[in-house]
Amino acid sequence: MVFGELIVAYLFLGGTGAGACAVAAVLGLLADGADVRQGLAARFRDGGNGRPGAYRRLFVSLWATALVALVLGVVCLSADVGRIDRVLVLAVSAPTNYLVVGFWALAACAALGIATLLVWQGAMPGSYRLLMALNGASLVAACVAAVYTGLLLAGLASVPLWFGPWLPAVFLLSALSCGTALTAAVMVLTGADAPFGRVLQALGAVDMGLIGLEAIALAGWLGCTWLGAGGTLAQAAPATPTDAAALASVAALVEGSWAPMFWGVLGAVGLAVPFGLEGALLAQGRRRGSPRRTASAVVLVSAACVLVGGAALRWLVVMAAVQPMVSSAAYVL
């Protein structure tokens, strides 16, 4: 099989890492300018007390976690390819396809992330303007890295489940949601949620929006694939083998062999549960607040569900498209 477990792991880790980089960059751009300038002047060293130290703990942990996810994704890709030189050859290739552009986006995201981390760590001097420029460039590179795999797969006309404009949107929204969830989990686990409680609350609201948009994009992707291949509610013979493959893939997801994972893991665990948990936590916080320990546990459970759903999504996208599905009984929902 051309697309196996390592590729699925690469898609998940690379997308999550890129999404986390994007979230960290946005938080850096939105950070209080006066506090950041004060931290830059002191190289973010204040003995761990005060705002400079809080910013240092927050952003160093966020960028380090995002970079680890990116690196693990590249390791999975290299392991699947079998030879590291086959990956490195992309570095000297002309940017004529999504694979080369994606490689450079990942490389740029990693390089910019390391530079940004060093500034927040205080290991590298930098001005406020430089730090904001690094955050802005990191945001662009991270978004490209998050969406390019969807563009790459969507350009493969030979795989009808992937072909079209919807899959890149699904991958981008999922990557941003996974990155937001990972960011929230890191904040809780490192204690950064104490000085940045409002940031954590805002992340929950943002993730709810991303989850809602992802559900819409998933419905649009499968619906358009089904209708584009001539699918109807009544049984009918597909016009071409390509249409047959498209209908079989969609049917396998919504009612066939992959339906339990699609509805149970992706739909329920990955989308519905975190949406409900984050909504409940947001509503409780607005009314009267909630104990920090309880809120932290809810954030961690919600983040875990989002990440499980993100991994399930990529597994389903790959497996439902590449497995042989030629039985006429699978053509109709």
Region 133-159 average pLDDT: 88
The pTM of this model reads 0.89
Note the pLDDT tens digit of each residue in 46-93. Answer: 654 567 788 999 999 999 999 999 999 888 877 766 666 665 665 555
Can you give the pLDDT at residue 1? 41
Whole-number percent of the chain with pLDDT over 90: 49
First CA to last CA distance, the chain:
27
Phi, psi angle pair for 32, to nearest 5°: -60, 125
DSSP summary character for residue 89: G
Crossing angle between the packed helical segments 292-322 and 5-30, to the nearest 10 degrees: 140
**What DSSP string runs through 2-44?**
-S-HHHHHHHHHHHHHHHHHHHHHHHHHHS-HHHHHHHHHTTT
**pLDDT for the residue numbered 325:** 40
For residue 327, the model assigns a pLDDT of 41
Q: How many other CB atoms are there within 10 angstroms of residue 324's CB atom? A: 7
159 DSSP assignment: S
Poorest-confidence range of 130-134, 151-155, 272-276, 305-309?
151-155
Residue 123, Cβ density class (10 Å: 0-12 exposed, 13-18 middle, ≥19 buried): exposed
**H or E segment and range at residue 311:** helix 292-322
Q: Using the predicted structure, report yes or no on whether residue 332 has a pLDDT greater than 50.
A: no
Residue 180 CB partners (closer than 8 Å, separation 6+):
19, 23, 203, 206, 207, 210, 306
Sign of CA dihedral 188, 289, 210, 248: positive
Q: For 205-216, write each residue's pLDDT tens digit.
A: 999 999 999 999
Higher pLDDT among residues 100 and 23, named by residue: 23
CA angle, 69 as apex, 193 and 130 as ends, to 5°?
Answer: 70
**Mean predicted confidence (pLDDT) in 25-37:** 93
- 253-292 burial, b for 16+ CB within 10 Å, e for fewer? beebebeebbeebbbebbbbbbbebbeebeeebeeeeeee
Distance CA 300, CA 302 (A): 5
Per-residue confidence at 331, pLDDT binned at 50, 70, 90? very low
